Chains A and B, each alone.
Chain A
Amino acid sequence: EVQLVETGGGLIQPGGSLRLSCAASGFTVSSNYMSWVRQAPGKGLEWVSVIYSGGSTYYADSVKGRFTISRDNSKNTLYLQMNSLRAEDTAVYYCASLTGVAAAPIYFDYWGQGTLVTVSS
């Protein structure tokens, strides 16, 4: 059974940094397309970042230059380093895997339970 478990959320002041982790079991992070999706309180889903199995990374314009996605293959864990945090980054952050025909990263099949990040002074 695939499980994705996010940790690392919390209360952080504007301008601060936080690193989220997503530990996977029943699933190999390095062999899959992995993504972060966030949801502000009472709002919809927003794609944040993706890392391809080959290592390429991409970001939403709203976080480009501030967030970095990475993975540790030995720990089978996905990360999201978040710097220069703003109030508008307040959200539940989900890690999720992407899949599709011919193993293309088209839709999200597995999701973690999410971790809440609150940016406030």
Chain B
Amino acid sequence: SYVLTQPPSVSVAPGKTARITCGGNNIGSKSVHWYQQKPGQAPVLVIYYDSDRPSGIPERFSGSNSGNTATLTISRVEAGDEADYYCQVWDSSSDHHWVFGGGTKLTVL
């Protein structure tokens, strides 16, 4: 089955740019979706189809996907962005499976 690899943690100072990666074999050929999850809360979609933002998500959140790495970029990081972030793909090569990365804890210093 398809495997997505994320760094366990990323730290960034307020006002700086955070980049969270999601690695997978030829992931650039797939669509990647990103979720933010704050403690005790359900996940929230922040990026879909690599780089689209749902309504209500700040423009500070952006995404890209190429080769073997997809990236979630958060510009001008705020304290409220501290959360776990998960990437996800639909693995069409398996039996209707939706695959998540292991998650990255974003810490705002």
A residues with CB within 8 A of B: 35, 37, 44-47, 50, 58, 60, 94, 98, 100-101, 105-109, 111-114
Measured CB to CB, the nearest residue on chain B to A107 is B33
Indicate which residue in A47, A94, A113, A114 contacts B98 across the interface (CB closer than 8 Å): A47
> CA separation between A79 and B98, bound complex, in Å?
19
> 10 additional contacts, CB 8 Å, given A105-B90, A107-B45?
A44-B100, A45-B100, A46-B100, A47-B99, A50-B98, A58-B97, A107-B48, A108-B98, A109-B45, A111-B43
* B95 interface residue per 8 A CB criterion: yes
List 20 A-B pairs, Cβ < 8 Å. Answer: A37-B98, A44-B103, A45-B88, A46-B100, A47-B97, A47-B98, A47-B99, A47-B100, A50-B96, A106-B49, A107-B33, A107-B49, A108-B33, A108-B35, A108-B43, A109-B48, A111-B43, A111-B44, A113-B42, A114-B42
Whether the pair B31, A45 counts as a contact (CB closer than 8 A) is no
Q: Helix, strand, loop or mixed for chain A's interface?
A: strand
> CA separation between A40 and B98, bound complex, in Å?
17
* B63 interface residue per 8 A CB criterion: no
Whether the pair A106, B42 counts as a contact (CB closer than 8 A) is no
Measured CB to CB, the nearest residue on chain B to A108 is B45
- Chain B residues within 8 Å of A107, by CB: 31, 33, 45, 48-49, 88, 90
Measured CB to CB, the nearest residue on chain A to B101 is A44
Q: How far is the CB of A35 from chain B (nearest CB, A)?
A: 7
- Chain B residues within 8 Å of A44, by CB: 86, 100-103
> CA separation between A105 and B98, bound complex, in Å?
9
Q: How far is the CB of A36 from chain B (nearest CB, A)?
A: 11
